[in-house]
């Protein structure tokens, strides 16, 4: 696949993007990361070019100058903090429209992967087809708009939409700064012992799945939607594996009503910008099933290579070997207007 390949990545400075860049930096292909933030890993600086998705002209110019054959669009605002205004996530749907226009004007592009999210459908909703949506956050709505923009673009290249599940692994600052720190301090507790099935994905498996989609024949992936991640599992199994390897002791379980009360306290503290390890959103995430259909992905690309224990080992190795040194610099916050919007 790499012969004659020129790979462009948007959002290569983020969590999934850093792992994706780490793979391709070793392959010797022409490689470019367009992102408005510098890379989390400074070793990736040689492949980074600062570009804002909302700067349509600058984005189109950068893509045309590099003339990629393959393009993976990962850049997005991914938090779910804004409850009402979908325009707060315009980097997602409007930024993608700018990207699609640039791709249409760049005849070298043969393959395009657009990143959506599992949140285009709420937990418990089973979509009947790829156009059956039920987003429950404005972030999810922004990604629905992203998918529709992709379908309406009239692309000449082969295109694929991916919907990541809840992704974890090396370079996840969220798990580094919340779960792992809390667990190391002996403050982690799990709400009850009930079985909660979640769709999670180890980032190494997600990178492998994306790469398989890039190398498969175009007719196998063109115009298709794939969830990326691992098969759903009982959340307790994952938490116990992390605890075993990180602190060498079992997880502590406490009644769910106590956790719920603490989550309400966390909501109050969050409102006044005081950090607290659990809020109502985190509580719901820990106690509600969220199952996404992975069979289509596995049928198309095969079984991903990393098992849970190996994936946890790799993540903790990153955490213990200098993760605090990385990403220490100031980074732009996707919750604020881009400089192009402010102009």
Rg (CA), the chain: 20
Look at residue 328 in the predicted model and tell me its pLDDT: 52
Q: What is the mean pLDDT of residues 149-174?
A: 96
User: Residue for token digits 């098969």?
Assistant: 231
Q: Which two tokens mark 100?
A: 């699609």
Q: What is the mean pLDDT of residues 313-321?
A: 96
Look at residue 287 in the predicted model and tell me its pLDDT: 87
Q: Is residue 334 part of a domain?
A: no
Alpha-carbon gap, residue 289 to 155, rounded angstroms: 36
Q: Is residue 43 part of a domain?
A: yes
Ranges 226-240, 255-269, 272-286, most confident: 226-240
| Mean pLDDT of the chain, nearest integer | 92
Q: What is the mean pLDDT of residues 304-321?
A: 97
Q: Is residue 254 part of a domain?
A: no
Q: Is residue 326 part of a domain?
A: no
pLDDT digits (tens, 9 = 90+) for 65-82: 999 999 999 999 998 888
pTM for the structure as a whole: 0.92
Alpha-carbon gap, residue 172 to 176, rounded angstroms: 6
Total domains, the chain? 1
Q: How confident is the model at residue 331 (pLDDT cuts 50, 70, 90)?
A: low
Look at residue 338 in the predicted model and tell me its pLDDT: 43
Q: Is residue 24 part of a domain?
A: yes
Q: Is residue 40 part of a domain?
A: yes
Alpha-carbon gap, residue 104 to 56, rounded angstroms: 13
Look at residue 26 in the predicted model and tell me its pLDDT: 95
Number of H helices, E strands in the chain: 14, 13
Q: What percentage of the chain carries pLDDT values higher than 90?
A: 79
Alpha-carbon gap, residue 142 to 38, rounded angstroms: 24
pLDDT tops 60 at residue 339? no
Look at residue 178 in the predicted model and tell me its pLDDT: 85
Q: Is residue 80 part of a domain?
A: yes
More confident residue, 68 or 191: 68
Alpha-carbon gap, residue 110 to 192, rounded angstroms: 49
Question: Following DSSP, what letter does each residue of 113-149 receive, concatenated?
Answer: EEE--GGGB-TT---SSTT--B--SHHHHHHHHHHHH
Q: What percentage of the chain carries pLDDT values higher than 70?
A: 94
Q: Is residue 298 part of a domain?
A: yes
Q: What is the mean pLDDT of residues 74-100?
A: 94
pLDDT digits (tens, 9 = 90+) for 16-60: 999 999 999 999 999 999 999 999 999 999 999 999 999 999 999
Look at residue 340 in the predicted model and tell me its pLDDT: 36
More confident residue, 290 or 286: 290
pLDDT digits (tens, 9 = 90+) for 207-245: 999 999 999 999 999 999 999 999 999 999 999 999 999
Give residues with Cβ within 8 angstroms of 279, minimum separation 6: 263, 266, 267, 270
- CATH code where residue 145 lies: 3.40.50.720
Look at residue 341 in the predicted model and tell me its pLDDT: 33
Q: Are 101 and 152 in contact (CB under 8 A)?
A: no
Write b or e for each residue in 223-243: b if 16 or more Cβ atoms lie within 10 A of its Cβ, otherwise e.
Answer: ebbbbbbbebeebbebbebbb
3-class DSSP state of 307: coil
Look at residue 284 in the predicted model and tell me its pLDDT: 80
Q: Which two tokens mark 181?
A: 């720190």
- Residue 253 parent element (H or E): strand 253-254
Alpha-carbon gap, residue 304 to 207, rounded angstroms: 10
Alpha-carbon gap, residue 151 to 191, rounded angstroms: 41
Strand order in the sheet with 158-164: 48-50, 31-35, 7-10, 70-73, 111-115, 158-164, 224-228
Break the chain down into helix, strand, coil percent, rounded to 5: 45, 15, 40
The Cα-based distances of 82 to 88, 140, 152, 262 in angstroms read 7, 11, 27, 22
3-class DSSP state of 298: helix
Look at residue 327 in the predicted model and tell me its pLDDT: 55
pLDDT digits (tens, 9 = 90+) for 97-137: 999 999 999 999 999 999 999 999 998 898 999 999 999 99
Indicate the pairing of strand 7-10 with strand 166-168.
unpaired
Expressed as residue numbers, the domain containing 210 is 7-165+200-230+293-305
φ, ψ at 202 (rounded to 5°): -75, 135
């Amino acid at each position: 696949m790499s012969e004659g390949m020129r790979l462009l990545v948007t959002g290569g400075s983020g969590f999934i993007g850093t792992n994706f860049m780490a793979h391709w930096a070793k392959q010797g292909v022409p490689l470019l990361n367009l992102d408005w933030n510098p890379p989390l890993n400074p070793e990736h600086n040689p492949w980074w070019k600062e570009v804002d998705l909302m700067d349509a002209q600058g984005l189109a110019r950068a893509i045309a100058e590099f003339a990629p054959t393959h393009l993976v669009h990962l850049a997005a605002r991914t938090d779910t903090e804004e409850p009402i205004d979908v325009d707060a996530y315009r980097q997602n749907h409007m930024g993608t429209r700018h990207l699609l226009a640039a791709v249409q004007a760049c005849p070298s592009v043969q393959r395009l992967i657009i990143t959506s999210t599992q949140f285009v459908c709420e937990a418990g909703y089973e979509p009947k087809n790829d156009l059956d949506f039920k987003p429950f956050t404005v972030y999810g709505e922004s990604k629905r708009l992203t998918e529709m923009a992709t379908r309406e673009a009239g692309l000449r290249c082969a295109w694929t939409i991916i919907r990541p599940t809840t992704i974890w692994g090396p370079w996840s600052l969220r798990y580094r700064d919340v779960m792992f720190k809390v667990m190391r301090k002996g403050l982690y507790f799990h709400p009850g012992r009930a079985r909660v099935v979640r769709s999670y994905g180890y980032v190494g498996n997600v990178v492998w799945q994306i790469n398989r989609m890039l190398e498969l024949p175009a007719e196998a992936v063109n115009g298709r939607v794939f969830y990326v991640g691992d098969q759903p599992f009982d959340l307790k199994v994952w938490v116990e594996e992390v605890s075993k390897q990180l602190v060498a002791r079992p997880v502590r379980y406490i009644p769910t009503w106590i956790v719920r009360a603490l989550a309400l306290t966390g909501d109050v503290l969050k409102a006044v910008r005081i950090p607290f390890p659990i809020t109502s959103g985190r509580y719901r995430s820990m106690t509600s099933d969220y199952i996404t259909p992975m069979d289509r992905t596995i049928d198309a690309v095969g079984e991903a290579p990393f098992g849970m224990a190996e994936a946890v080992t790799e993540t903790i190795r990153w955490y213990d070997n200098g993760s605090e040194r990385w990403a220490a610099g100031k980074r732009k916050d996707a919750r604020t207007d881009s400089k192009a919007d402010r102009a």
